[in-house]
Amino acid sequence: MKLIIVFVALSMIASLGLASDPSPLQDFCVADDYSKVFVNGKVCKDPMLATANDFFYDGLDKPDNTSTPLGSVVTSVNVMQMPRLNTLGIDFVPGGKNPPHTHPLGTEILTEGTLYVDFVTSNPENLLISKTLNKGDVFVFPQGLIHFQQNVGYGNSVAIVGLSSQNLGVITIATAVFGADPPISDVVLAKAFQIDKKLVDKLQASFWMDTN
Protein backbone atom coordinates (compact mmCIF):
# COMPACT_ATOMS: atom_id res chain seq x y z
CA MET A 1 0.00 0.00 0.00
CA LYS A 2 2.87 2.38 0.85
CA LEU A 3 4.46 1.70 -2.53
CA ILE A 4 1.20 2.53 -4.30
CA ILE A 5 0.91 5.84 -2.41
CA VAL A 6 4.50 6.74 -3.26
CA PHE A 7 3.91 5.84 -6.92
CA VAL A 8 0.78 8.00 -7.06
CA ALA A 9 2.60 10.91 -5.39
CA LEU A 10 5.53 10.64 -7.81
CA SER A 11 3.11 10.47 -10.75
CA MET A 12 1.45 13.70 -9.61
CA ILE A 13 4.81 15.43 -9.24
CA ALA A 14 5.84 14.26 -12.71
CA SER A 15 2.60 15.51 -14.25
CA LEU A 16 3.11 18.91 -12.65
CA GLY A 17 6.64 19.03 -13.98
CA LEU A 18 5.36 18.63 -17.54
CA ALA A 19 2.79 21.41 -17.30
CA SER A 20 4.90 23.92 -19.28
CA ASP A 21 6.65 23.75 -22.65
CA PRO A 22 8.90 20.67 -22.75
CA SER A 23 12.66 21.06 -22.30
CA PRO A 24 14.72 20.20 -25.39
CA LEU A 25 16.39 16.79 -25.46
CA GLN A 26 18.70 17.67 -28.36
CA ASP A 27 20.64 20.72 -29.57
CA PHE A 28 17.62 22.17 -31.36
CA CYS A 29 14.28 21.25 -32.90
CA VAL A 30 13.61 23.38 -35.97
CA ALA A 31 9.89 23.27 -36.77
CA ASP A 32 8.86 21.33 -39.87
CA ASP A 33 5.81 23.13 -41.29
CA TYR A 34 5.31 20.47 -43.97
CA SER A 35 5.01 17.45 -41.68
CA LYS A 36 1.70 15.57 -41.74
CA VAL A 37 2.21 14.38 -38.16
CA PHE A 38 0.07 16.15 -35.54
CA VAL A 39 1.61 16.73 -32.12
CA ASN A 40 1.28 19.30 -29.35
CA GLY A 41 3.68 21.76 -30.94
CA LYS A 42 5.72 21.25 -34.11
CA VAL A 43 7.54 18.21 -35.48
CA CYS A 44 11.34 18.58 -35.79
CA LYS A 45 12.83 18.58 -39.24
CA ASP A 46 16.07 16.72 -39.98
CA PRO A 47 18.80 18.70 -38.11
CA MET A 48 21.13 18.14 -41.07
CA LEU A 49 18.75 20.24 -43.16
CA ALA A 50 18.77 23.22 -40.75
CA THR A 51 20.03 26.52 -42.13
CA ALA A 52 21.04 29.85 -40.59
CA ASN A 53 17.68 31.34 -41.62
CA ASP A 54 15.91 28.92 -39.25
CA PHE A 55 17.58 30.79 -36.38
CA PHE A 56 17.24 34.31 -37.78
CA TYR A 57 14.55 36.99 -38.02
CA ASP A 58 15.04 40.54 -39.31
CA GLY A 59 12.83 43.60 -39.35
CA LEU A 60 12.49 44.51 -35.67
CA ASP A 61 14.69 47.57 -36.27
CA LYS A 62 12.13 49.05 -38.68
CA PRO A 63 9.08 50.96 -37.35
CA ASP A 64 5.85 49.22 -38.27
CA ASN A 65 2.56 50.84 -39.28
CA THR A 66 0.99 52.37 -36.15
CA SER A 67 -1.86 54.03 -38.09
CA THR A 68 -4.44 51.96 -36.28
CA PRO A 69 -7.40 52.96 -34.07
CA LEU A 70 -5.31 51.88 -31.07
CA GLY A 71 -2.13 53.68 -32.13
CA SER A 72 -0.03 50.57 -31.63
CA VAL A 73 1.06 47.45 -33.48
CA VAL A 74 2.61 44.18 -32.34
CA THR A 75 5.31 42.48 -34.41
CA SER A 76 5.17 38.82 -33.42
CA VAL A 77 8.20 36.56 -33.59
CA ASN A 78 7.05 33.14 -32.47
CA VAL A 79 7.47 29.61 -33.79
CA MET A 80 5.44 30.54 -36.88
CA GLN A 81 7.92 33.25 -37.92
CA MET A 82 11.11 31.72 -36.50
CA PRO A 83 11.11 27.89 -36.71
CA ARG A 84 13.96 27.53 -34.19
CA LEU A 85 11.65 28.77 -31.40
CA ASN A 86 10.05 25.33 -31.48
CA THR A 87 10.37 23.92 -27.89
CA LEU A 88 11.78 27.00 -26.50
CA GLY A 89 8.44 44.06 -30.40
CA ILE A 90 5.70 46.27 -29.97
CA ASP A 91 5.53 49.88 -31.39
CA PHE A 92 3.45 52.70 -29.83
CA VAL A 93 2.73 56.24 -31.00
CA PRO A 94 2.15 58.82 -28.21
CA GLY A 95 -1.03 57.78 -26.43
CA GLY A 96 -1.08 54.47 -28.27
CA LYS A 97 -2.20 51.47 -26.26
CA ASN A 98 -2.11 47.70 -26.37
CA PRO A 99 -5.63 46.92 -25.10
CA PRO A 100 -6.33 44.64 -22.12
CA HIS A 101 -5.43 41.08 -23.07
CA THR A 102 -4.13 37.85 -21.61
CA HIS A 103 -1.67 35.13 -22.64
CA PRO A 104 -3.05 31.77 -21.43
CA LEU A 105 0.10 29.82 -22.32
CA GLY A 106 3.03 31.94 -21.15
CA THR A 107 4.59 34.76 -19.13
CA GLU A 108 5.53 38.09 -20.73
CA ILE A 109 8.54 40.28 -19.86
CA LEU A 110 8.58 43.81 -21.26
CA THR A 111 11.33 46.44 -21.44
CA GLU A 112 12.16 49.77 -23.16
CA GLY A 113 10.13 52.91 -23.79
CA THR A 114 8.07 55.24 -21.60
CA LEU A 115 5.03 53.10 -20.95
CA TYR A 116 2.30 52.84 -18.35
CA VAL A 117 1.71 49.14 -17.73
CA ASP A 118 -0.55 47.15 -15.45
CA PHE A 119 -2.07 43.77 -14.78
CA VAL A 120 -5.02 42.63 -12.67
CA THR A 121 -4.83 39.69 -10.27
CA SER A 122 -7.46 36.94 -10.31
CA ASN A 123 -10.78 36.86 -8.42
CA PRO A 124 -11.83 37.76 -5.82
CA GLU A 125 -9.11 40.37 -5.14
CA ASN A 126 -8.81 41.79 -8.69
CA LEU A 127 -5.88 43.88 -7.48
CA LEU A 128 -4.47 46.35 -10.03
CA ILE A 129 -0.65 46.29 -10.18
CA SER A 130 0.68 49.21 -12.23
CA LYS A 131 3.95 51.00 -13.02
CA THR A 132 5.32 53.62 -15.39
CA LEU A 133 8.38 52.27 -17.20
CA ASN A 134 11.29 54.21 -18.67
CA LYS A 135 14.05 53.05 -21.01
CA GLY A 136 15.97 50.18 -19.43
CA ASP A 137 13.20 49.19 -17.00
CA VAL A 138 11.80 45.66 -17.01
CA PHE A 139 8.31 44.51 -16.00
CA VAL A 140 6.87 40.98 -15.77
CA PHE A 141 3.25 40.07 -16.57
CA PRO A 142 2.34 36.74 -14.90
CA GLN A 143 0.91 34.00 -17.08
CA GLY A 144 -2.82 34.18 -17.74
CA LEU A 145 -3.49 37.56 -16.07
CA ILE A 146 -5.12 40.44 -17.94
CA HIS A 147 -2.60 43.20 -18.71
CA PHE A 148 -2.28 46.44 -20.65
CA GLN A 149 0.31 48.89 -21.96
CA GLN A 150 0.03 52.57 -23.02
CA ASN A 151 2.60 55.07 -24.26
CA VAL A 152 2.49 58.02 -21.82
CA GLY A 153 5.58 59.74 -23.25
CA TYR A 154 5.82 62.54 -25.82
CA GLY A 155 7.40 60.51 -28.61
CA ASN A 156 7.06 57.11 -30.18
CA SER A 157 7.93 54.21 -27.93
CA VAL A 158 9.19 50.73 -28.72
CA ALA A 159 8.68 47.84 -26.30
CA ILE A 160 10.85 44.73 -26.43
CA VAL A 161 9.02 41.67 -25.13
CA GLY A 162 10.35 38.31 -24.01
CA LEU A 163 7.93 35.40 -23.70
CA SER A 164 8.18 32.10 -21.84
CA SER A 165 6.43 29.99 -24.49
CA GLN A 166 7.11 29.20 -28.13
CA ASN A 167 3.52 30.25 -28.88
CA LEU A 168 1.92 31.76 -25.80
CA GLY A 169 -1.52 32.51 -27.25
CA VAL A 170 -3.35 35.82 -26.86
CA ILE A 171 -6.92 36.77 -25.95
CA THR A 172 -7.77 40.46 -26.44
CA ILE A 173 -10.62 40.91 -23.95
CA ALA A 174 -12.84 43.40 -25.81
CA THR A 175 -12.39 41.64 -29.15
CA ALA A 176 -13.16 38.23 -27.65
CA VAL A 177 -16.24 39.45 -25.79
CA PHE A 178 -17.84 41.86 -28.28
CA GLY A 179 -16.29 40.58 -31.52
CA ALA A 180 -17.04 36.87 -31.11
CA ASP A 181 -18.28 35.09 -34.25
CA PRO A 182 -21.08 34.12 -33.96
CA PRO A 183 -21.81 36.82 -31.36
CA ILE A 184 -22.39 36.11 -27.69
CA SER A 185 -25.99 36.73 -26.65
CA ASP A 186 -26.50 40.47 -26.06
CA VAL A 187 -28.82 39.61 -23.16
CA VAL A 188 -26.02 37.66 -21.49
CA LEU A 189 -23.48 40.46 -22.02
CA ALA A 190 -25.89 43.16 -20.86
CA LYS A 191 -26.43 41.32 -17.60
CA ALA A 192 -22.75 40.40 -17.19
CA PHE A 193 -21.50 43.98 -17.64
CA GLN A 194 -24.56 45.61 -16.06
CA ILE A 195 -25.11 47.82 -19.11
CA ASP A 196 -28.01 48.52 -21.45
CA LYS A 197 -28.68 45.93 -24.17
CA LYS A 198 -28.62 48.68 -26.83
CA LEU A 199 -25.05 49.53 -25.85
CA VAL A 200 -24.09 45.87 -26.20
CA ASP A 201 -25.63 45.80 -29.68
CA LYS A 202 -23.66 48.95 -30.61
CA LEU A 203 -20.42 47.46 -29.34
CA GLN A 204 -21.02 44.19 -31.18
CA ALA A 205 -21.64 46.11 -34.40
CA SER A 206 -18.30 47.93 -34.05
CA PHE A 207 -15.12 46.91 -35.87
CA TRP A 208 -12.83 45.06 -33.48
CA MET A 209 -9.19 44.91 -34.43
CA ASP A 210 -6.46 42.88 -32.77
CA THR A 211 -2.90 44.23 -32.83
CA ASN A 212 -1.45 41.06 -31.30
pLDDT in tens, 122-165: 999 899 999 998 887 888 888 888 999 998 888 877 777 777 77
Peptide bond preceding 24 in cis form (omega within 30 of 0): no
Please give the model's pTM, rounded to 2 decimal places. 0.65
Q: Where are the domains of the chain?
A: 171-212
- DSSP assignment of 119-187 equals EEPPTTT--EEEEEE-TT-EEEE-TT-EEEEEE-SSS-EEEEEEESSTT---EEHHHHHHS-SSPPPHH
> Amino acid identity, residue 8?
V
What pLDDT does residue 189 have?
96
- Mean pLDDT, rounded, of the chain: 75
pLDDT in tens, 8-48: 444 444 444 444 555 666 677 777 777 777 766 677 878 78
pLDDT in tens, 162-184: 777 766 778 989 999 999 999 99
Full strand arrangement of the beta sheet holding 157-163 = 72-74, 90-92, 157-163, 108-111, 138-141
55, 84 contact by CB (below 8 A): yes
